[in-house]
Amino acid sequence: MIKKLEINEFIAGSKNHVLIDARSESEHAKGHIPNACNLPILCNEHRVIIGTLYKQQGREAAVHKGFELVGPLFASFIDTANLLAPQRVVYIYCARGGMRSNILAWVLGMAGFKVYVLEGGYKKFRNYVLATFTAPLNLIVLGGKTGSGKTELLNQLPYSASYTTIDLEGLANHKGSAYGGIDMPAQGTHENFENRLATIINSQTPQHYFIVENESIAIGQLRLPRAVYVQMQAAPIVELLLPYDLRLMRIAHEYGELNKEQLITQTKTLTKRLGGLNTQLAVDAITNNECNVWIALLMQYYDKCYTNGLQNYKNTTHIKLEIDHNFNSNLSKLSTVIRQLTSISN
């Protein structure tokens, strides 16, 4: 059985079944629907061959060559699908819902699979993603100066039917500062970052709240969708106020044992912002294992950036929440505030 589905029905149905991307390895790597398995009808090498032939001899020659290359692989497609989907139900997409997904659907359909194909393919999905970011969102921003423990508290907020937390730094594989990429996995592509973010948002109703950490528009090499960033700046903000000495201690614990060469390299990228003298003082402190000294120098810069950034927030709801070294107490305080904010419209 083969059935074509529009984007919303396809996404809903694929949540509990195997999702197959029939595009090439390079297309999949650049951007794909989250959790999709890659089963290329045409691999990277074959795509080059077909593309060249299409330009030189036209569509008919390219299609003929395509079947010549793909035909011998039909049995392997079935074998792979059997391993991926023992229940024999698959959801398939290609670039535009055309030849590649239809060929794979036909092969697997002939083998007895129930097959659902995305009408419009990955292009339709990307339009769906971009539309997600322009729709109104119920956001609450968790703020606080560097070292306040925002990410830890965000990720430990208890489950609620009213809100979902989104760890933007976790999605981006970057902690947001000049040092945020050290010892972190590769960030991946901008498309995949957007795809994962949109999938989280679309998993909830329009009335749902999303709790996000205060971020600049850039998280490492990736950027927040501008429409989401603009909405964040108009959202209520809960600002964590942790004493300076406790923030310094937290930063020292998180960054103090990192590789010195990497710390020095990243510090030098801030020369224009820190100034030559402070940069050299920070580098010397790292070299001499004076952890608190270089962190204090960097905190001056990041605290100033944070204070300036707050001026971009336009919502009058600005709650200042004093916290201390007691994580459980801090989490309880924050949970209470979040519950209050998310119940206002309910």
Domain of 165: which CATH number? 3.40.50
Q: Are 171 and 122 within one domain?
A: no
Q: How many CB atoms lie within 10 A of CB 84?
A: 13
110, 129, 148 - which closes a domain: 129
Predicted confidence at residue 62, as pLDDT, reads: 83
**Angle ∠(138,141,144) on CA atoms, nearest 5:** 175
10 Å CB burial of residue 144 (0-12, 13-18, 19+) is buried
One-letter amino acid for residue 44 of the chain: N
Q: Are 75 and 142 within one domain?
A: no
129, 156, 187 - which closes a domain: 129
CB-CB contact of 169 with 176 (8 Å): yes
As a whole number of angstroms, the distance between CA 30 and CA 47 comes to 15
Helix (H, G, I), strand (E, B) or coil at 167: coil
Beta-strand ranges (E) seen in 87-128 are 89-93, 114-118
pTM: 0.92
Residue 284's contacts (CB-CB under 8 Å, 6 or more residues apart) are 290
Predicted confidence at residue 88, as pLDDT, reads: 97
Q: Are 141 and 92 within one domain?
A: no
Q: Are 217 and 336 within one domain?
A: yes
Structural domain count of the chain: 2
Domain of 28: which CATH number? 3.40.250.10
Active-site positions? 94
Q: Are 115 and 183 within one domain?
A: no
Q: Are 182 and 33 within one domain?
A: no
Phi-psi region of 58 (alpha: psi -120 to 50; beta: other; left: phi over 0): left
Predicted confidence at residue 256, as pLDDT, reads: 85
Q: Are 125 and 6 within one domain?
A: yes
Predicted confidence at residue 257, as pLDDT, reads: 84
Q: Are 177 and 116 within one domain?
A: no
CB-CB contact of 280 with 267 (8 Å): no
Query: Per-residue pLDDT for the chain (346 aa), expressed as one digit of tens each?
Result: 899 999 999 999 999 999 999 999 999 999 999 999 999 999 999 888 888 888 889 888 888 888 888 888 999 999 999 999 999 999 999 999 999 999 999 999 999 999 999 999 999 999 999 999 999 999 999 999 999 999 999 999 998 999 999 999 999 999 888 888 888 899 999 999 999 999 999 999 999 999 999 999 999 999 999 999 999 999 999 999 999 999 999 999 988 888 899 999 999 999 998 999 999 999 999 999 999 999 999 999 999 999 988 887 877 799 999 999 999 999 999 999 999 999 865 4
85, 111, 129 - which closes a domain: 129
Q: Are 118 and 201 within one domain?
A: no
Task: Convert 259-272 to b/e letters by CB count within 10 Å (16 or more is b).
Answer: eeeebbebbeebee
Residue 23's contacts (CB-CB under 8 Å, 6 or more residues apart) are 32, 38, 40, 41, 94, 95, 100, 122
Q: Are 183 and 308 within one domain?
A: yes
Q: Are 152 and 76 within one domain?
A: no
Q: Domain containing 76: what range? A: 2-129
Q: Are 102 and 148 within one domain?
A: no
Predicted confidence at residue 345, as pLDDT, reads: 54
